[in-house]
Structure 1
């Protein structure tokens, strides 16, 4: 069950049992990572719930916090359904590239197929912040290059930081 709130004509938020939650606990992992999650293919809310359970059971990560879920229009390729987006805060001991590879394996587990930029997808996992690190390589830019320009990141982040 989700509590739905319409922000404007194109933006809607959802709060549920696991999304919009502070789960803080002591963690033995070293790095705090902010991950943007999104999708627009299939039952995305249900997939987010499965992702929540997956992370809760995986000893390689500690799930600390989740934001509300935001329904928002696509950007880039416009010929697709609206997206659902959220933010999760994890504690990990993996280095940035190892964690990026881990996220790609998780996406694949949840049936992500990479076809073209901004294509419809079952699950998209993006590193927004990795501890207090700054890096820019071909494979990874931290903080995420355009995080501050996207409602799909800013609105869920504001929910976490309220």
Structure 2
């Protein structure tokens, strides 16, 4: 068995029952072969970034330990998107579920199928804030500490376009966790 690699997955949904979709994605991804869930962030509500006019997103980050490779993790992410009937019609358009592999250990790779770390992660508060919640010492490989990157994004966001609202009324759970699911 391969040693586990810590990986960060970003989850987003702005169609249908967004919270149920994110919880379903956490459950599917956590059950993937070679994947052990570590933690899931609080849920944030965010305005869409780019693309056509559309509703607000719910976003979260799932941290996993993976004994599979990054492309296997990407296929698992795509499988979860298909399970929730993700359609790719318009770039940055509305979607039932979006799952991105943000980081896979310290791997940096410019493979066009899976660029690691995610090429726009350092620009997106909806990725950085939830990730920082799960790991205050997190570092985006090849870039900088996540806290530093988030501070830069927040400072540059003079129009409030990347404002985040934590949804304390919505809580995602890892499989096996007890308690109320919001």
TM-score category of the 2 structures, normalised to the smaller one: 0.7 to 0.9
| 1:76 partnered with 2:76 | no
Which stretch has the larger CA shift, 100-109 or 126-135? 100-109
Aligned Cα RMSD in Å? Answer: 1.6
Mind listing any 5+ residue stretches in structure 1 that lack a counterpart? 1-27
Q: Per-residue deviation at 1:59?
A: 4.2
Q: Per-residue deviation at 1:143?
A: 0.7
Question: Runs of 4 or more off by more than 4 Å in structure 1?
Answer: none
Mind listing any 5+ residue stretches in structure 2 that lack a counterpart? 137-182
In the superposition, the TM-score normalised over structure 1's length comes to: 0.77
Residues 128, 144 of structure 1: 8 Å contact kept: yes
Residue aligning to 2:93:
119
Residues 14, 57 of structure 2: 8 Å contact kept: yes
Number of positions where the alignment pairs a residue of Structure 1 with one of Structure 2 = 135
Residues 29, 93 of structure 1: 8 Å contact kept: yes
Tell me how far apart the structure 1 counterparts of residues 3 and 36 of structure 2 sit (CA, whole Å): 7
Quick one: which of 114, 136, 143 aligns to 2:110? 136
Tell me how far apart the structure 2 counterparts of residues 55 and 105 of structure 1 sit (CA, whole Å): 9
| 1:46 partnered with 2:20 | yes
Deviation string 1:37-70 (CA, Å, 9 cap, x unpaired) is 0010011111112222323444431111100111
Tell me how far apart the structure 2 counterparts of residues 75 and 63 of structure 1 sit (CA, whole Å): 28
Q: Per-residue deviation at 1:157?
A: 1.4
Tell me how far apart the structure 1 counterparts of residues 60 and 3 of structure 2 sit (CA, whole Å): 22
Q: Per-residue deviation at 1:78?
A: 4.0
Q: Which structure is higher in strand share?
A: 1
Deviation string 1:93-142 (CA, Å, 9 cap, x unpaired) is 22112221221112101111111210100000001110110000211111
Residues 57, 99 of structure 1: alpha-carbon distance in 2 compared, 3 angstrom cutoff: closer
